[in-house]
Amino acid sequence: MRPKRHFMMTHAITADPILEFAADVRAGLTKPDQKELPSKYLYDSVGSGLFEVISVLPEYGLTRADERILRTHASEIVDRVPRPVVVAELGSGSGKKTRWILEALCRLQHTSYCPIEISRAALAMCARELGDIESVSIVGFEREYLDGLLEVAARRQKHQHLMVLFLGSTIGNFDRTAGERFLKEVRRILEPGDSLLLGTDLLKPIHQLIRAYDDPLGVTSAFNLHLLARVNRELDADFYLSRFEHVGFYHKAARSVELHIRSRDSQAVSIPAADLTVSFDAGETNWTESCHKYASEEVRHLAKQAGFYCNAQWIDREWPFAENLLIAE
């Protein structure tokens, strides 16, 4: 007999996404010092597909390390979490990695799982991926992270704890100050005893980091440059992709890999839907994403600053990556 699937989705009422995209592109490309295109726009269906490919590249060990820890330690992780518990995941993606946690938890209790995502397609994929787990009900929230989390927290019953999953080192795409601020916001929504399972990519040799973000096959380059193709498609712009190139370099002071798109020559690009013509000097770059790397003790300190204590840390041996179980104080 086919397992019964429980899936619901709540939609957000948002402003016109194209107008928002145009405003963000205009604001980013008119910055006086460093032009930028916000990294959140990398993750449309093309970008998310390319990121799935990045995550299986031999040079990019982050996702496999994350999965290895969750697969190996899921029972131990859920044993440490106060129950009964509702699970909320910030940026679930396809939901593949979450299976281990949900299966371990569903052996102990019926589990409500609430993926929070701005992408409706990712929520649907996540429901398909995880809907066959016995004793799970899935309610997807098409929301920004904190808005979605507020809603999940408001809906839980008095006796239920919350376990928040923030996997895959997405925290690393915030700069350190913004990351700490974000964790504090998450903590403010939680009650003492609630938990946060936080994935963080750890510091490693620079040559290894550079290869992970500038792979020889050029998938990360395609992932980065596709943002220009998206601006062309959605905002009627005329970026010639071959006149730009992907750059990934290590920023020592920030302890992050920075992704930029560099103009190969001096040129002007018109973006009618953003009411903008923008000039690039030869060699000038657009900053698109930063990927911060942490030391394991730094994560414990960060947790403390944000109002959590670090109950346990699991570190992968092959690819330095930590899964951190933080409990709200």
Residues forming the site for ligand AVI (CB under 6 A)? 54, 62, 168-170, 172-173, 213, 220, 223, 289, 291
Q: Which pair of tokens denotes residue 244?
A: 């730009």
Give the nearer residue to ligand AVI in terms of CB position, either 7 or 174: 174
Given the complex with ligand AVI, which of 91 and 140 has the nearer CB atom? Answer: 91
Instruction: Name the residue whose CB lies closest to ligand AVI.
Output: 291
SS3 content of the chain, % helix, strand, coil (to 5): 40, 30, 30
Q: How far apart are CA 24 and CA 41, in angstroms?
A: 10
Closest distance to ligand AVI from the beta carbon of 118 (Å): 14
Residue 307 gets the label, from left (phi > 0), alpha (psi -120 to 50) or beta, of: left
User: Residue 107 CB, nearest distance to ligand AVI (Å)?
Assistant: 29
Residue at token pair 């510091």: 203
Minimum CB distance to ligand AVI smaller for 187 or for 292: 292
Cα distances from 58 to residues 55, 216, 313, in angstroms, run: 8, 10, 25
Instruction: Answer yes or no: are the C-beta atoms of 140 and 8 closer than 8 Å.
Output: yes
Q: How far is the CB of 291 from ligand AVI (least distance, A)?
A: 3
Residue (140 or 199) nearer to ligand AVI, CB:
199
Beta carbons of 227 and 269 less than 8 angstroms apart: no
State the nearest-atom distance from the C-beta of 154 to ligand AVI, in Å: 28
What does 148-204 look like in DSSP terms, one character per residue?
HHHHHHHHS-TT-EEEEEE-TTGGGGS-HHHHHHHHHHHHHHS-TT-EEEEEEEBP-
Q: Which residue has the tokens 């290869």?
A: 211
Residue whose CB is less far from ligand AVI, 22 or 54: 54
Smallest gap from Cβ 310 to ligand AVI, in A, equals 20
Closest distance of CB 70 from ligand AVI, Å? 15
Minimum separation from the CB atom of position 311 to ligand AVI (A): 23
54 or 261: whose CB is closer to ligand AVI? 54
